[in-house]
Structure 1
């Protein structure tokens, strides 16, 4: 393309020096475009590395969320079993506390447990 322009310039009234200057500008712009393209390629590669790192982080977060979700599901299942056991124990305690003679026995056992606890604390000093 530069050779065609060199032949046309003198025909259109331009000087050979002007034609040579335009060829030099095209060469510089070509070099600048190559440098810019290389810089863009490096930027794209760096961006690709960052995107890969972010993907790794998000994959790790997703795995952690899934494991926490499974843990919470297992805890809910376990807590359901604990709730049933507590309800059964509360029902038995209600039956025991409904009879006066058994209620006195529970109070005496509670008092004995408190006495042993305070004795333990006193001996720890």
Structure 2
């Protein structure tokens, strides 16, 4: 705030020196235009202050949003890590099952049973469609 006062004081002293050079009629119009220029400058300064406040608030909101997204991504990364651990354990169990001959034979038997169930289901459905159709 004191910077503005110092700036105004130096501007006024500069324009006062110029007013002494000019003649009387021009001096009045010069001070009038100086007042108008100062009013325009004040309006411009106020407008800039409003814009700066708006931008500061906007950047604060963006910062909050980025932090929120970072927290969400961290939680999602932790969830993915735990899922990866679970999947790794499951795959280890499947490897153990398929390494044993007895377990491999049992898995083949279950696979054949499921496959034959689907074949019988679709044949039955096909026959029912053509019979009652």
TM-score, scaled relative to structure 2: 0.67
> How many residues matched?
113
Query: In the aligned structure 2, how far is the partner of 1:115 from the partner of 1:109?
Result: 10
Unaligned runs of 5+ in 2: 1-11, 127-133
Corresponding position: 1:24 with 2:32? yes
Indicate the residue corresponding to 2:81 in structure 1: 73
Shift of 1:22: 2.0
Shift of 1:73: 0.5
Structure 1 segment 32-111 matched on structure 2, within 5 A:
32-92=40-100, 95-96=101-102, 110-111=111-112
Query: In the aligned structure 2, how far is the partner of 1:124 from the partner of 1:18?
Result: 106
Over 3 Å counting, the alpha-carbon distance change for 1:122 and 1:60 in structure 2 is: farther
Query: In the aligned structure 2, how far is the partner of 1:5 from the partner of 1:106?
Result: 102
Query: In the aligned structure 2, how far is the partner of 1:33 from the partner of 1:89?
Result: 83
Kindly provide the CA deviation profile for residues 63-91 of structure 1, in whole angstroms up to 9, marking residues without a partner as x. Answer: 22111101111111101111210111111
Over 3 Å counting, the alpha-carbon distance change for 1:107 and 1:36 in structure 2 is: closer
TM-score, scaled relative to structure 1: 0.71
Shift of 1:49: 2.6
Unaligned runs of 5+ in 1: none
RMSD: 3.1
Query: In the aligned structure 1, how far is the partner of 2:66 from the partner of 2:107?
Result: 57
- Greater RCO, 1 or 2 (C-alpha within 8 Å, sep 6+): 1
Shift of 1:109: 5.9
